[in-house]
Amino acid sequence: MDQAQTLRDYMHRFHDQQEQKPLSRIITITSGKGGVGKSNFSLNFALALKEFGKKVVILDLDLSTANINILMGIRPRYSLADVLYQRKSIWDVIEQGTFGIEYIAGGLEMEDLSKIDQTKVLLFLSQLQELQTYADFILLDTGAGISKELVDFILASDETILVTTPEPTSIADSYAVMKTVLRYTSQTPTFFLVVNRARSYLEAVETSRAMKNASSKFLKMPLKTLGFLMEDEHIYKSVKSQMPFLIAYPKCSASKSIKEIAYSYLPDVNRTSSVSTKGLHGFFEKILSLGKSS
Ligand SMILES: Nc1ncnc2c1ncn2[C@@H]1O[C@H](COP(=O)(O)OP(=O)(O)O)[C@@H](O)[C@H]1O
Ligand SMILES: [Mg+2]
């Protein structure tokens, strides 16, 4: 039996053993447009979920711009690339963030994965499999732009949170993300909306209404609004001091809102399907097979 087959058998056995435990739920956080507050949202949403007793790992897939690790004031030593090239195990690349949030730097282009030899990829997947019942939630923070890779991430996730500001450019880009994703699937992916940087409650409501109307009218897609974050200078201050705003300013408007968002998200997840059907291993398996078929 070749090595790849042995690994595949191992992974199936592992999967059967793990079937009883719930898989980590994978949430992609995206926007199309850059600089709208995705990374700040991801980190503080993770912290809010943690306050509700959930275990959260952030996987940083934004390879191009400033990362979550800077917002936490940590410097990751390793990344998923080290796992892929067998320099480190999956447990070595999980950084213990200072605020109880665990963090993995992506550090690899997904298209690289489809060019790599199969045994390496299977080893990589078996490493990810070890992690798949480890956390309640794995948040994927993505970069700017609407690429085929982003579409793959969204289709492989359990759900997606769109972070949108009231600016028409941001609304247009978030809409474009949904529209592009629908071009690649006949299913109805789950999208949630978070409006960020609204100057007034009315502006937030109008933004949410514009997104919902466009989504139901032109895409025939339901879009649930999780909540609003107002323009809040505490976010700017927290970025400067490299402390998440939920920790540095727990009583500020953004902190109150992010807790409400986590609070409204959790029962929603339980209502739809509390058990992830994908998990982190399934996520990457899907990315790889999608990558090959396209
Ligand atoms: N609600 C907000 N109020 C004020 N400033 C904000 C808010 N959200 C984001 N910002 C500012 O926008 C900047 C970019 O946010 P970031 O989370 O890095 O965006 P992205 O990850 O989408 O590129 C932050 O450094 C912060 O200064
Ligand atoms: Mg970012």
Q: Is 278 in the pocket of ligand 1 (CB under 6 A)?
A: no
pLDDT at 66: 63
* Domain that includes residue 88, residue range: 24-293
User: Measured between alpha carbons, how far is 237 from 135 in angstroms, rounded to an integer?
Assistant: 30
CATH code for position 109: 3.40.50.300
CB atoms within 5 A of ion ligand 2 belong to 38-39, 62
- Per-residue pLDDT averaged across 12-23, rounded? 66
For residue range 204-228, list pLDDT tens digits in order. Answer: 999 999 999 999 999 999 999 999 9
**Termini Cα distance of the chain:** 30
For residue range 108-157, list pLDDT tens digits in order. Answer: 765 566 677 777 777 787 777 777 788 999 999 998 888 887 888 898 88
Question: Is 143 among the domain residues?
Answer: yes
How many structural domains comprise the chain?
1
Question: Is 238 among the domain residues?
Answer: yes
Provide the residue type at 22 as one letter. Answer: P
Q: Is 201 in the pocket of ligand 1 (CB under 6 A)?
A: no
Q: What share of the chain in percent tops pLDDT 90?
A: 54
Question: Is 281 among the domain residues?
Answer: yes
pLDDT at 291: 45
How high is the mean pLDDT of the chain? 86
Q: Is 254 in the pocket of ligand 1 (CB under 6 A)?
A: yes
Nearest C-alpha neighbor of 157 from the set 124, 186, 190: 190
Q: Is 255 in the pocket of ligand 1 (CB under 6 A)?
A: no
CB under 8 A, 24+ apart: contacts of 272-276? 272/190, 274/22, 275/22, 275/23, 276/22, 276/23, 276/24, 276/25, 276/26, 276/158
For residue range 151-191, list pLDDT tens digits in order. Answer: 888 988 899 999 999 999 999 999 999 999 999 999 899 99
Residue located nearest, by CA, to atom 10 of ligand 1: 37
Q: Which ligand is nearest to the CA of 38?
A: 1
Question: Is 188 among the domain residues?
Answer: yes
Residue located nearest, by CA, to atom 15 of ligand 1: 37
Question: Is 16 among the domain residues?
Answer: no
Question: Is 155 among the domain residues?
Answer: yes
Question: Is 1 among the domain residues?
Answer: no
Q: Is the pLDDT of residue 86 over 70?
A: yes
Judged by average pLDDT, the poorest of 12-21, 99-108, 110-119 is: 12-21
Please give the distance, rounded to the nearest whole angstrom, from the Cα atom of residue 36 to the centre of ligand 2.
Answer: 8
Question: Is 164 among the domain residues?
Answer: yes
Q: Is 197 in the pocket of ligand 1 (CB under 6 A)?
A: yes
Please give the distance, rounded to the nearest whole angstrom, from the Cα atom of residue 131 to the centre of ligand 2.
Answer: 24
